[in-house]
Amino acid sequence: MSIYSGNRNWNDLNDVVPRAPSVRAQASPPTGAPLDTPDWSRVRKAAPADYLLPMSEKWFDALPPDRAPCALATVYPRIINLIAAQWNDHHGCPLLFEDLLGDRRGGRAGFPPAVRRDLVRLQEYWYSGALKL
């Protein structure tokens, strides 16, 4: 019998393997939200590190005191980890700052003022040529 034959004694694949319910069927949209809005909490596969990684701590300590993003590190350490990993990347770091400071999904509240100031200061410092931390 060929492996390409259509008869494998299965009536249907769904008889053997039950269908998984779709994400849209499981998640009910919040009141007032459009039906086509995805539930982003179910999209992320793993929780990001919510603490400063050793590489990020070393990067943070190397920053000048007036540029150290203390509010950002306190509230969003995972973002510090992303910035530290991209800091020396001439292509990736500007895209990361653009993504963090821009609103591409619309209607977002944004960062708290102190965190936004830290991000803007870091972006200005990066563009001033401080790439060798």
Residue 125 pLDDT: 94
Helix orientation angle between 92-101 and 113-127, rounded to the nearest 10 degrees: 160
Residue 110 pLDDT: 81
HSE on the CB side for 1, CA within 13 Å? 6
Model confidence over 73-131: pLDDT tens digits?
999 999 999 999 999 999 999 999 999 998 777 777 788 999 999 999 999 999 998 65
Residue 48 pLDDT: 75
Distance CA 69, CA 101 (A): 15
Residue 49 pLDDT: 80
* Token reading at 111: 């960062």
Residue 86 pLDDT: 94
Model confidence over 5-41: pLDDT tens digits?
555 554 544 554 455 555 454 555 555 555 667 676 6
pTM of the full structure: 0.62
Q: In the chain, where are the structural domains located?
A: 54-127
